[in-house]
Chain A
């Protein structure tokens, strides 16, 4: 258990509404990531953070924004949700400063946009 909590775990919303997913960690890791998982596409990186207020884009960042105002929380926001953003969203932390390819993932947040 890497001390990662995602909330909410399940959410159903309507097209055009804003949605915020929260990732909370308890071990002060510097690096945090948001991925989405879709059949046939695997896991695709949305955004990641390398410190408080330091974030960068991933492969599929359009339509998403992130914020990290404190070490333990990394928020993913869909400003105006669309049906194409229906997915399972995973938060992950990197336990070390070097990128060894090791990430610890949360349990996921399943989002359905109607």
Chain B
């Protein structure tokens, strides 16, 4: 059973466009929602995170939107660049020492 559901599995965006990745969860004990970025051959790295008492968090071109009532959160990448091409994972933690990841989205940004 996937505790954090992520979509789409892959995404192709043109340079300058907006990339949107969505995640949903069921466990209401979750209270931290980070996003990780992974380049080929490397380990994942924390990109941005949000808590459920905030509906939106922005860092540069990256924005997390959070809908607590729907138990959904999403990552928006504005003005997508070829250097953003990577695999993105949403994740959730809370109530335990575990961090549960989504299945990942492979983003390709073409010039």
Contact = CB atoms under 8 A, between A and B. Distances in A.
B34 to A, nearest CB: 4
A40 B42 CA distance: 18
Interface of A: 31, 33, 35, 40-45, 48, 50, 56, 58-59, 90, 92, 94, 99-108
A31, A50, A101 — most chain B CB neighbours (10 Å): A101
B46 interface: yes
B97 to A, nearest CB: 6
A102 B32 CA distance: 9
A100 B49 contact: yes
A45 B99 contact: yes
Nearest to B98: A45
A66 to B, nearest CB: 14
A77 to B, nearest CB: 20
Contacts, number: 68
Nearest to B101: A43
A105 B44 contact: yes
Interface of B: 6, 9, 32-34, 41-46, 49, 89, 91-94, 96-104
Contacts of B6: 42
A59 B100 contact: yes
Contacts of B43: 90, 92, 105-108
A56 B77 CA distance: 36
Contacts of A58: 98
A100 B104 CA distance: 20
A106 B44 CA distance: 8
Contact of A101 (B33, B42, B45): B33
Contacts of B96: 99
B94 A42 contact: no
A48 B93 contact: no
A56 to B, nearest CB: 7
Nearest to B34: A101
B102 A99 contact: no
